[in-house]
Structure 1
Amino acid sequence: MKRRLLDIYDALLLDLDGTVYRGGEAVPGAAEAVKAARENGTAVRFVTNNASRSPEDVAEHLTGLGVAAEPIEVSTSAQAAGTVLAERLEPGDEVLVVGTSALVDIVGAAGLKPVRTFTDDVKAVVQGLSRDIGYRDIAEATLAIRAGALWVACNMDPTLPTERGQLPGNGALVAAVRAATGQEPVVAGKPARPLMDEAITSANASSPLVVGDRLDTDIAGAVTAEVDALLVLSGVTTPADLLAAPAWLRPRYVAASVGDLCGPADGLEIAAQRAWEVDRTDHLVTARWTGNGAVVDELALLRALCAAHRPIDGGEIKVRAEDDTTRGALRTLGIARTAVP
């Protein structure tokens, strides 16, 4: 029996938005993958930059979507921010909270005193996303930071995916405070280490696998934590994005969705592929189909292209298809910059 990724790694660090669910629905295969991991003895941690909900709320939401989850299996950027604050402050110090009541609770659980208004006693500001944040919140944070308070941002995500499209994320609101203060926050969430380290420690993992849909947070977070990653194409990152990414930001594996965790690991790695022949020159990648009647696997072509094209700084490159099968596969992948011979 071929080994699965579940058999190679002792923990799965699963992103949520775009990885485990999209909007109000679980990604097909997500529930089965989580169940298979537990049955295999592989630890599961749901690792999210969303700081607006408590671990209990996240676990309840996942369970409602059919993905069984316990609060102890949830690691949020708000929890990581609480850890950062506790490490740098004294018990009972006042922390000005810009965020939801869930973030207030986490600050309190860290042995600190959450407040909403700036006074000379405020020692830190913690900023997480809330749909109710207004000018007053930004103003209070600005006063505290300009007075010398430590500033911790739960995450720097510029946007938040919703059913209506991309909306402003915490990073957009952090940018407003940065503009008003000229300061940079300590970041707790992905791709910074605090959240990744907390999830790995919680899972008691020695060889975890990060699974996510974003290069700039999930995969970059895996790079920062020096662990392997599986990029899934069920969310933000497209095949064209992956091909254009610099070599340091490439995951070890790429798959259509989290459901592929239940299948063989063989073939998911970015490497040369048996049915595709790929050659690279300075400004051009040439690809041809050599499958001889085998089932066409477009993602195998993507893996082969990424293995051949590993730019230091990233950037698009033209791909020349030498046959109709390859041209069709490139269209399916959405790799538009194709030079036809």
Structure 2
Amino acid sequence: MLEESTTPIVEAHDLVMFDLDGVVYVGGEAIDGVAERIERVRAAGRHVAFVTNNASRTPDKVADKLVAVGVEASATDVVTSAQASARLLVEQHGAGAKILLLGGEGLRVALLEAGLEPVEEPEGAVAVASGYGPDVRWRDIMRASVLVRDGLPYVASNTDMTIPTPYGLAPGHGVLVRTIAGFAGVEPTVAGKPERPLMEETVRRVGGDRPIMVGDRLDTDIEGAHAIDVPSLLVLTGVSWLPDLAAAVPELRPTYISPTLEGLFEPHPVPTVSEVGVELNGWTAAVEDGRLGVTGQGSDADWWRVAVTACWRHLDETGTAAEVSDTSPPGPVRQLDAE
């Protein structure tokens, strides 16, 4: 269930780890108010990290995009799944090891910076590393798949099944990983969210003893926070929405929830359970005949708190997600829907 914070949650943490797509920006534009709120985090003396599963871009390129949309950032603020992959490989095989590369510039640079030697031919390679790269050739995928089947260790930057493009959601790197793993009958070591390596690499690089993860996806950001046992804040400016939350099992549930990043600077009360349902500050939510209903009035954030709490109680008690298709959350349409 959601946890209570009687003070603004940013006060309890010295590292705030931000996902990018759906949290900081959507497409080529920053989400309203994000730049100012991130600066408030810095002004409070907290470390700021931008954490991305995308292995195709270098931290410099990611920082350039952030600056272009009005968010202050440098390469040292950015941690990628390519860097986490490189860390795993150098720990397993040592500096100077040859790594067969299936990916783009971000992964190549990360391997080099870790002291590894990315190669395009398999002779002497001790492992395969893959990351999203639009120019990866099918013949190279086939050759790597055979090598993995025959025993060459395989590290995948992430398993994201989709990637946003100017022409809509397209197949992501996870499709490639599934292809190789399915053919080879071997599961790779995965560096990106929701697995531990990227989260641990972020804390190691940016610093902080009391991190919190801020994300918009339950199955990467929030599950990743659970993987290293740190709190999480789900914001509702990106992918996850009420149907996802209604069906969320415990390892996908955030510690806190807020419509926007303003939730970092607010206390987080928790609902109470009574005979009439789940109640908080003017809102009451209940699941009756399998369907969620919310009545009353109050803040948007408290609406979400009572709604998800009622849904999770129902899911835990019955094993079935509540029907939420007719439920209309308050507040403006999320920016992702407006694209």
TM-score by length of structure 2 reads 0.87
Q: Is the 8 A contact 2:80 2:198 kept in 1?
A: yes
Structure 2 equivalent of residue 324 of structure 1: none
Query: Alpha carbon RMSD of aligned pairs, Å?
Result: 2.5
Deviation at 1:82, TM superposition (A): 0.2
Counterpart residue type for residue 322 of structure 2: I
Among candidates 216, 220, 226, match of residue 217 of structure 1: 220
Among candidates 318, 322, 332, match of residue 317 of structure 1: 322
Say whether residues 1:191 and 2:198 are aligned partners: no
Q: Secondary structure at the match of 2:20?
A: coil
Deviation at 1:284, TM superposition (A): 4.9
Among candidates 293, 298, 301, match of residue 303 of structure 2: 301
Counterpart residue type for residue 67 of structure 1: V
Partner Cα separation in structure 2 for residue 235 and residue 163 of structure 1: 16
Identical counterparts, % of pairs: 37
TM-score by length of structure 1 reads 0.86
Counterpart residue type for residue 317 of structure 1: A
Structure 2: runs of 5 or more not aligned: 1-5, 273-278, 335-339
Among candidates 242, 247, 251, match of residue 244 of structure 1: 247
Q: Secondary structure at the match of 2:129?
A: strand
Structure 1: runs of 5 or more not aligned: 322-326, 335-341
- Residue by residue over 1:121-167, the C-alpha shift from the partner in whole angstroms, topping out at 9 and shown as x without a partner, is 21100000011112122022113212321100000000012332111
Partner Cα separation in structure 2 for residue 196 and residue 69 of structure 1: 19
Partner Cα separation in structure 2 for residue 212 and residue 328 of structure 1: 22
* Alpha carbons of structure 1 residues 251 and 193: separation in structure 2 relative to 1, 3 Å: same
Q: Secondary structure at the match of 1:51?
A: coil
Structure 1 equivalent of residue 102 of structure 2: 98
Deviation at 1:233, TM superposition (A): 1.1
Deviation at 1:186, TM superposition (A): 0.1
Deviation at 1:278, TM superposition (A): 2.9
* Alpha carbons of structure 1 residues 232 and 224: separation in structure 2 relative to 1, 3 Å: same
Q: Is the 8 A contact 1:45 1:199 kept in 2?
A: yes
Among candidates 163, 167, 170, match of residue 170 of structure 2: 167
Q: Is the 8 A contact 1:287 1:319 kept in 2?
A: no
Structure 2 equivalent of residue 141 of structure 1: 144
Structure 2 equivalent of residue 338 of structure 1: none
Structure 2 equivalent of residue 5 of structure 1: 9
Structure 2 equivalent of residue 339 of structure 1: none
Q: Is the 8 A contact 1:270 1:306 kept in 2?
A: no
| 1:26-175 alignment runs, 5 A limit | 26-119=30-123, 121-175=124-178
Structure 2 equivalent of residue 264 of structure 1: 266
Partner Cα separation in structure 1 for residue 300 and residue 45 of structure 2: 32
Deviation at 1:282, TM superposition (A): 8.0
Structure 1 equivalent of residue 337 of structure 2: none
Among candidates 276, 281, 289, match of residue 274 of structure 1: 281
Q: Secondary structure at the match of 2:126?
A: strand
Structure 2 equivalent of residue 205 of structure 1: 208
Partner Cα separation in structure 1 for residue 330 and residue 230 of structure 2: 30
